[in-house]
Structure 1
Amino acid sequence: MSESSSSIAGTDFTQGIPATDIADGGMVTGHVGEEPVLLVRRAGELFAIGATCPHYGAPLADGLLVADTVRCPWHHASFSLRTGQLLRPPAQDDLKCWRVEQRDGRAFVCEALPAVRPPELTAAQLPGSVVIIGGGAAGNAAAETLRREGYQGPVTLLSADSALPYDRPNLSKDYLAGTAQAAWLPLRSPTFYTDHHIDARCNIRAVKLDPAQKTVMLSDGSQVTYDALLLATGAEPVRLTVPGANLSHVRVLRTLADCDALIARLGTARQCVVVGAGFIGLEVAASLRTRGLQVHVVTPGAHPMERVLGEALGKMIRTLHESKGVIFHLGATVTEIESDRVKLSTGEVLGADLVVTGIGVRPEVSVAQEAGLIVDHGVSVDEFLQTSARGVYAAGDIARWPDPRTGDRIRVEHWVVAERQGVVAARNMLGATQRFTAIPFFWTQHYDTAINYVGHAEHWDRVDIEGDPGAHDCTVTYWYKNRRLAVATVGRDLDSLRAEVAFEQATPA
């Protein structure tokens, strides 16, 4: 629970509570009927909203109040206290709100307030139609935002994936570990797209974009036209090129189909070699250990995840995995894969009836490049996420944008960043001229230990550590030339939220 919060378990807010029980800046959890409710006092006003984040169910009382908003402690979604309206992902839905009344020194939560209605837009300022290429985080967020913002024109969502948009971060975590059901993965039901008049098409690729004619040629030979377009084509896994890399038991994990194919092999697999000690590789290692497989991790680095998180957290992660039985082979690469073994550059030979590679991804920029858009380690966009072609935007893993904090152009391959870019791109299609200034955020989960990371540090010359990484209780700050670039936390959700707010306050408007 947050430092400024209190909790009254089981309190029925319809019966009222003493108003003095809620200090300014305080949060109290109770219920209305069967619904958990969070009662908040902010700047003298009382607000009642749903008590749990609709993303993964985090208790919002453990979160952070910022102005008239509350932020989720786990994954940093933000909601309006006044309306319950979702202000930013990764949550997708608004919170319910109730009217609060004060009388005789008590605060009562009364009837539910009506949901926020989409604004009325002026048709003359809007695109006649919108096409979104990509059915991942950015593409889905953009489609939903167009409808949330009141756009009523045609929206076409084109996805190369065989499934409608789903919760990709879960693939390497709970779903692969067998602790999450397949039914939990879809971001929305098929009827959601029908009800919101989103023409969502799966198993189809854009093969040619013509910005001058505003047309997109598709893999089935058909063509769609647009007035505004979002490129959100994501990234493709880098694949091994060593002998044996094409054997059937060598797998990557990017899509739901990849994950299901991997899970199908687990019934007979006993020994797995994971190639790569980044986020995907180690989340896969944790999930497979949870299922009881013997797991070896091969990486050329000196510490897992050192390139992104540094030595201290790398050592913590290694110790955590080793405590669960994972065996690391550091400073090594794979030289050959056979049907039942993997050969390493060190001369070691590892038994393996399953090999999973997680050695990075490449942005899928071929359509953009062939269309003549400016491409430089990703699709170049301006601060509004518009590409070099008017009316064409890019978001997610492919977008390389100007970072307002450093002045550098950056590209970030994180789910929440992609969702937030999809939101901003959609709003700008509708004439909002909103700059993308969100602070990058990601989380990674290993067994029951989560690491949250805000900011972006491609390199650093100083690392400050507060707390004890070995106890899974620390804040790690990354600096370059006396500029704080990023903060990683373990077991300190509020520190992560506060770091995010501090970065926002330091970001040029």
Structure 2
Amino acid sequence: MTKSSSSTDKPDLTQGVPLADLADGGMVTGQVGGKPVLLVRRADELFAIGATCTHYGGPLADGLLVGDTIRCPWHHACFSLRTGEVLGPPAQDDLKCWRVEQQDGKAFVRDALPAVRPPRLASARLPESVVIIGGGAAGTAAVETLRREGYSGPVTLLSADRSLPYDRPNLSKDYLAGTANADWLPMRPPTFYADHDIDVRSDNRVVKLSPEQKSVTLSDGSNVSYGALLLAVGAVPIRLDVPGATLPHVSVLRTLADCDALIARLGTARRCVVVGASFIGMEVAAALRTRGLEVHVVAPEAHPMERVLGATLGDMIKALHESHGVTFHLGATVAEIQPDRVRLSTGAELAADLVVTGIGVRPDVALAQDAGLALDKGVAVDEFLQTSEPDIYAAGDIARWPDPGTGQRIRVEHWVVAERQGVVAARNILGQRQRFAAVPFFWTQHYDVAINYVGHAEQWDRFDVDGDPAAHDCTVTYWGKDKRLAVATVGRDLASLRAEVAFEQETTGH
């Protein structure tokens, strides 16, 4: 889903909107000085905020009002109506706000309001310094939250990636498809980190974590001490283990460097075999078809993405890709890769000058294990994302936490979950003791069709389908022992937001 552009062909809200046209919960999209503005009424209060989400520019008028907040219909970012403050990822920046006056039965949008300022923190309970290991979603959200919350101590972000933090979900979607500009990918410009006194050290791998000394050792032998630490190293791709898997035309897609190397091969590649019908595999297939390559997908399952979404949506995804020219070889695995072809377990051979594998990832727990942290199919954390070492927190793909929604310990490999955990971990590093209770959410996009998913259902005993998957208009609800576990939607953004709120209410009781 590409970023949208603003429009100035909307009514000028400085000229007034009749209050009679704005019922409780009503929204009017207009503009002020050429900037898109959303006028919202909640009971007797009026709010004017930026009309587009600061993540990808989603139209907030199509979103959901919850109390004095508004949620983006595309990727569920949440903002305060009162201050414009971003309250929930994936958005990073606040919305602009304007003052609203009522006069002669109309609402007039006036001057812009000042931006929210970070609070002053009491220094007695703060760590002397904070180190974050990992420059992905959780790590980036954490460093920004530390500064947003008013922490002024030293903050160091150590990332093994060669690039500054970037928007990883875009790699397998628009960027690989060639429909997103490279300058969309960085999460922030380099000046942002300097302006906020954040010491970002890219291409720096941590090789040892020493809780006793409260320090980490880098691959160059240097040491960095910390008062508190966040472990957010993410996951590593599972590699194919068959003859020919290390040939130069065999790729994985995890990092920007991986994606750029893959794009560089597209100038001469004509036929690609995608190994794995997971989210990454299917998004890669869509992106490469958009670029005109012949694409074959090989996977052992009977339906693409079946393990998470089930057979019904799997069939929808398969039909969608087939309508765009993708050929599936399901119920098969790769037996051997040769320079110009791939041999399957069925004996079939597929001509290929490019192979992309997307067969899953595993949490990178090596540092945690060597440091003696408690493990549990990942790094074990409590409801505050604290590890077995009090001054060490974990977030993102490696963290396994007690989920109040399911009543089980879970680990989730999704970008927005990692961002939300990074926010909560940073706040808890600052002593706030905030429980992580966010409902898991992810989205996946194939061509112009997006699927949103809220909740968590590792297993289910039935699912209900409302609507028509073939028309890309449906809601699928997953149940386990008569408990609603998760909801997937296609073409129903508001239904996805409402399901998220319902899960939150079930968890919190209000």
- TM over 0.5, shorter chain: yes
Q: State how far apart, in whole Å, the 2-side matches of 1:10 and 1:176 are.
A: 34
Q: Does 1:182 align with 2:182?
A: yes
Secondary structure of 2:432's aligned partner: coil
Pairing 1:160-239 to 2, within 5 Å after superposition? 160-239=160-239
Say whether the 8 Å CA contact 1:363–1:398 is kept in structure 2. yes
Q: Which amino acid aligns with 2:143?
A: A
Q: Which amino acid aligns with 1:25?
A: G
Q: State how far apart, in whole Å, the 1-side matches of 2:43 and 2:213 are.
A: 53
Q: Which amino acid aligns with 1:80?
A: S
Q: State how far apart, in whole Å, the 1-side matches of 2:476 and 2:76 are.
A: 18
Q: Which amino acid aligns with 2:326?
A: V
Say whether the 8 Å CA contact 1:25–1:42 is kept in structure 2. yes
Q: CA deviation at 1:407?
A: 1.6
Aligned match of 2:30:
30
Q: CA deviation at 1:364?
A: 0.5
Compared CA separation, residues 34 and 151, structure 1 to 2 (3 A): same
Q: CA deviation at 1:8?
A: 12
Offset from partner CA, 1:185-228 (integer Å, 9 cap, x none): 00000000000000000011111111121010111110000011
Offset from partner CA, 1:101-153 (integer Å, 9 cap, x none): 00111110000000000000001111110000000000000000000000000
Q: State how far apart, in whole Å, the 1-side matches of 2:470 and 2:184 are.
A: 33
Q: CA deviation at 1:165?
A: 0.3
Pairing 1:465-484 to 2, within 5 Å after superposition? 465-484=465-484
Q: State how far apart, in whole Å, the 2-side matches of 1:10 and 1:315 are.
A: 41
Q: Which amino acid aligns with 1:154?
A: P
Q: CA deviation at 1:411?
A: 0.1
Aligned match of 1:74:
74
Q: Does 1:409 align with 2:437?
A: no
Aligned match of 1:46:
46
Aligned match of 2:65:
65
Pairing 1:431-450 to 2, within 5 Å after superposition? 431-450=431-450
Q: State how far apart, in whole Å, the 1-side matches of 2:242 and 2:410 are.
A: 31
Q: State how far apart, in whole Å, the 1-side matches of 2:298 and 2:129 are.
A: 48
Q: State how far apart, in whole Å, the 1-side matches of 2:87 and 2:485 are.
A: 24
Aligned match of 2:3:
none
Offset from partner CA, 1:33-77 (integer Å, 9 cap, x none): 110000000121000000000100000000000000000000000
Offset from partner CA, 1:242-299 (integer Å, 9 cap, x none): 0000000000000000000000000000000000000000000000000000000000
Say whether the 8 Å CA contact 2:275–2:357 is kept in structure 1. yes
Q: Does 1:379 align with 2:376?
A: no
Q: CA deviation at 1:319?
A: 0.1
Q: State how far apart, in whole Å, the 2-side matches of 1:33 and 1:376 are.
A: 54
Q: State how far apart, in whole Å, the 2-side matches of 1:117 and 1:433 are.
A: 22
Percent identity of equivalent pairs: 78
Secondary structure of 1:421's aligned partner: helix
Q: Does 1:453 align with 2:453?
A: yes
Aligned match of 1:13:
13
Say whether the 8 Å CA contact 2:30–2:36 is kept in structure 1. yes
Q: State how far apart, in whole Å, the 1-side matches of 2:102 and 2:323 are.
A: 54
Q: CA deviation at 1:9?
A: 6.0
Pairing 1:28-427 to 2, within 5 Å after superposition? 28-427=28-427
Secondary structure of 2:346's aligned partner: coil
Offset from partner CA, 1:344-399 (integer Å, 9 cap, x none): 00010000000000000010010000000001110000000000001100000000
Secondary structure of 1:297's aligned partner: strand
Q: CA deviation at 1:406?
A: 2.0
Q: State how far apart, in whole Å, the 2-side matches of 1:358 and 1:414 are.
A: 15
Q: State how far apart, in whole Å, the 2-side matches of 1:449 and 1:155 are.
A: 40
Aligned match of 1:3:
none
Aligned match of 2:4:
none
Q: State how far apart, in whole Å, the 2-side matches of 1:460 and 1:403 are.
A: 17
Q: State how far apart, in whole Å, the 2-side matches of 1:359 and 1:115 are.
A: 45
Q: State how far apart, in whole Å, the 2-side matches of 1:191 and 1:376 are.
A: 39
Secondary structure of 2:46's aligned partner: strand
Gap regions ≥5 residues in structure 1 = 1-6
Q: Which amino acid aligns with 1:37?
A: V
Q: State how far apart, in whole Å, the 1-side matches of 2:105 and 2:411 are.
A: 53
Say whether the 8 Å CA contact 1:405–1:508 is kept in structure 2. no
Say whether the 8 Å CA contact 1:460–1:480 is kept in structure 2. yes
Secondary structure of 2:40's aligned partner: strand
Say whether the 8 Å CA contact 2:8–2:36 is kept in structure 1. no
Say whether the 8 Å CA contact 1:8–1:29 is kept in structure 2. no
Secondary structure of 1:75's aligned partner: coil
Q: State how far apart, in whole Å, the 2-side matches of 1:147 and 1:20 are.
A: 42
Q: CA deviation at 1:24?
A: 0.4
Q: State how far apart, in whole Å, the 1-side matches of 2:17 and 2:505 are.
A: 35
Q: State how far apart, in whole Å, the 2-side matches of 1:247 and 1:466 are.
A: 45
Q: State how far apart, in whole Å, the 1-side matches of 2:508 and 2:45 are.
A: 30
Aligned match of 1:4:
none
Q: State how far apart, in whole Å, the 1-side matches of 2:369 and 2:10 are.
A: 58
Q: CA deviation at 1:508?
A: 3.9
Q: State how far apart, in whole Å, the 2-side matches of 1:258 and 1:9 are.
A: 41
Q: Which amino acid aligns with 1:500?
A: E
Q: Which amino acid aligns with 1:311?
A: A
Q: State how far apart, in whole Å, the 1-side matches of 2:399 and 2:10 are.
A: 47
Runs of 4 or more, structure 1, over 2 Å off, are: none
Q: Which amino acid aligns with 2:69?
A: T
Q: TM-score, normalization: structure 1?
A: 0.98
Q: State how far apart, in whole Å, the 2-side matches of 1:142 and 1:50 are.
A: 25
Count, aligned residues? 503
Q: State how far apart, in whole Å, the 2-side matches of 1:192 and 1:10 are.
A: 32
